[in-house]
Structure 1
């Protein structure tokens, strides 16, 4: 019943609002990072009661998908195509090689396949939103999702600072380093910070390159869903080939590309998206069991480090093709 979920909904809303306030005061602290740390701290302290868990579960699944769908309004296909085929091929290579390489590394490290897939897609495509989207297709454990999101946020924040610095050491120009940041850094918000550190021209190209990676979310999810349906034949539980929130993501991207969407509408949608993702990340953080995280933390951290290094190296040619 909905009334049983109200306490959890209110807690998630408060946690998400707190994360948004912290981000507004300290812009370099990403909203998703703050939200999941707040949630994890609350859960680790034993302050998450059973009566709030139904509401938190609703937010971590369904509200999160709203945020992913609204991400489509940030995509303008014309801007992506203007990057040129060479740079677009690098973007495809980052996503495809990043996912396949991370899955291979997960097998070597003994990380379960579902956890490896969450990390692979999150690090190779668009961070927490990609992790949430894969969860919507695979029906993975909430705790695994929270772990993957935590790692995406932490290692993405490291890349957010490291890639611009490495660009300077390698003698890349402002725009080249911006393109590398967009192709390598995990979260959209983290790319904005990395581009801002480099300059206005770098920020513009970094965001467009990153959105080209976001565009890969739909075909990757279609492939993941197809495999999930094949695996589910024995149980008789087939997920939809393409979930509704992915269709909404594609539809909104098409609308943004074909029509002149009023700035006010985009501002409102952006605000709803930020609030939805912040609340959902907080709810995911609350679901993490610190004991389970300690048991499996080391292999996952190694996987995250390897995935970050792989994506960063594969993305480097972007700096020379922009």
Structure 2
């Protein structure tokens, strides 16, 4: 008498198989952010108002492009270029988080993605008080946010060990802070916290005052004069400023989490170098291109760049091969 065949497991659906435990689609979110940031950089390089910008400003859009030697337009695109760089850097860090620590079930990576995502996606609300709704930004948020939230929920049960938020408080290594690698790690952490703070400042400024004195000096205009050109111009610029601030804060938090909790590795060092290179190159490099070279305005960015480069150099994996794996 033949033995009964063992029951076969119910096959996975195609979507479940492709999504895996949530990690793959989180990687896809990181890739989407990187591509979105690249698209923002491309649009900023074109130095043309976008169709929804023109529709929002109305008949005065063409006048604004030529006002004050084009400095209003240049100012807007300096925020947009910096925003693009910050989004690319954030996307790169998300991909590393999803493909390495989260793949290994490390809870701290999940919490870093949650915190960074909350900062990034919620900044969309910061400028709505001015009455401007960016359709493109809104559409991208509406497409990415549900995927991001759903895949975080799907990946949570696959975490190993303690899933508590306290996991982010435990450093990855007990490196002596006075050692070369310890000093490098400290420099990277300070740079990350500086980005986080600067992001918050930009969000607050974008949601309230919109401009700092150096901005108005560069454009050689007052807020009243900008409002005279178009009452819709300031809300549009507020959107750019708040959006950049949110992206910068999100990137700063992801950077701090990766440096503090991530096990030192060549892969981590490489993604930090790539993300920091893109972020600082766009945030600083756009200023001389448009003639906005106020020393006080650029000093914090150069200080952050100095700390970041020093941190990377001091923790270079080839010089600390014993502390870096794979």
Q: What's the TM-score once normalised by structure 1's chain length?
A: 0.26
* Structure showing greater Rg: 2
The higher-RCO structure (CA 8 Å, 6+ apart) is: 1
Q: What's the TM-score once normalised by structure 2's chain length?
A: 0.26
